[in-house]
Amino acid sequence: MKLRWIGSVLLSAAAYYVYLPLPSGVSEPWKLMLLDAMFRSCMHVGDVAHALGVCHRVSLINQVVSWVEVIGPRSCPAVDVSDILLGGVPTRVFRPIGGQKLKRGVVYFHGGGWALASGRMRSYDLLSRKMAEDLDAVIMSVDYRLAPEVVFPAQYEDALAASRAFLSAGVRERYGLDPQRLCVSGDSAGGNLAAAVAQELALDSSLEVRFKAQALVYPTLQALDFHTASYQQNHDVPILYRAVMARFWLQYLGADPALEPLLLANNHSSLDQAGLAAAHRSKLDWTALLPAGRRKHYRPVVRATGSPGVVDAVPALTDARAAPLLAERGVLARTPRRAYVMTCEFDVLRDDGLMYARRLRDAGVEVTGDHYEDGFHGCMVFAYPPVSSAVGRRSMDNYIRWLDQNL
């Protein structure tokens, strides 16, 4: 009887920890609750370790991820897998065996808030392997350096160096890449890097070969407005909470973590910020860039007075290399002619992607917007067991189908 009572208490406590009220339209809510409980547990353990001075909270989480998720380069009858340095950056290459002599190619940047994860994780390994096999394409999954060991622009510079090498004659010849069918892609923070790289290389007149397409999966593209309609709607929807995204941004930009409350209140983008011009604001004016159906009943949060000097103290907030949504229209017009932008309804970053898609279209780029009404942030990389997300599988299949049809 006593053991049953203890068991009941423990089970109730576990259910209380796992249960989280979710929007009615989200795909497979219990799977998302369990996934979120796992992430929150890791974050809490990391916070404790950080507070005790054992190690940085992110370092501990990455160690756990490496132990559980990172796997070696395992080839199979259909795909040869190897680890190389691409422009000096560790990269896992997935090369299909047989098929066409000249292959399509995708350079891919993983997500994780510029601080977590790896292209060698099981989830990304499976994604790249499927892309290589289904597309008969060479996939290069880049392991750029991570925060807190390095901060902006190190991650961007790694992504740029790897992309330049990917486009080089030497790499193209070694891997049999078709110079007319190359793409840059990434998810979340990796989508940020992919967009920034696409912009930078669009301006490089010395390149002999350019990307045909860019494919961005629920990208994070700006850190000036944490009260877009999607931030307001999804601020407490897992797995990416508004406060966590603000923390990731501050860590990436090498800024003082004490600024987090200012970012969450939009005090850093108040009207009295001397370093923030009207031109910056117009590029992320979601009241103009989003359709009414996405704006819903939400209203902008623009402070007349805030915390002056934040933008001057963290200049990368307005640097398009860090925040690609702030790029000039002329730059966007020179990016790859075809673009794919995936967004999810239950994701704080939804509006970043929707606004970028709109600005690309306005600049003359052919854009395919792929929106998931039941999707949540990160869903595509949870397509495989143990999560086996239905919307994850659906989004992955559609992403690969777009690449097949447009690359």
Residue 320 backbone phi and psi in degrees, to 5: -65, -20
Greatest Cα-to-Cα distance within the chain, rounded to the nearest angstrom: 77
* Annotated catalytic residue, options 125, 225, 347, 351: 347
- What is the token pair recorded at 110? 């993983």
Q: Is 280 a catalytic residue?
A: no
Note if 256 is an active site residue. Answer: no
Residue 295: how many CB atoms within 10 A of its CB? Answer: 18
Structure tokens belonging to residue 25: 């339209």
Whether the Cβ atoms of residue 81 and residue 94 lie closer than 8 Å to each other? yes
Q: Which two tokens stand for residue 337?
A: 């002619």
H or E stretch at 244? helix 242-252
**Catalytic one of 118, 185, 188, 269:** 188
Check if 41 is active-site.
no
Within a 10 A sphere around the Cβ of 329, how many other Cβ atoms?
12
First to last CA, the chain: 64
Planar angle of CA 130, 134, 140, nearest 5 degrees:
55
| 226 three-state secondary structure | coil
48-57: b (≥16 Cβ within 10 Å) or e? ebeeeeeebb
DSSP assignment string, 338-389: EEEEEEEEE-TTHHHHHHHHHHHHHTT-EEEEEEEEEEETTGGGG-STTT--
Backbone angles phi, psi at 374, to 5 degrees: -110, 10
132 burial via Cβ count (<10 Å: 0-12, 13-18, 19+): buried
3-class DSSP assignment, residue 142: strand
- Which of 182, 132, 121, 130 shows the shortest CA–CA distance to 397? 130
Q: Given the DSSP bridges, would you call strands 338-346 and 137-142 parallel, antiparallel or unpaired?
A: unpaired
Catalytic residue among 110, 268, 280, 377: 377
Catalytic positions: 188, 347, 377
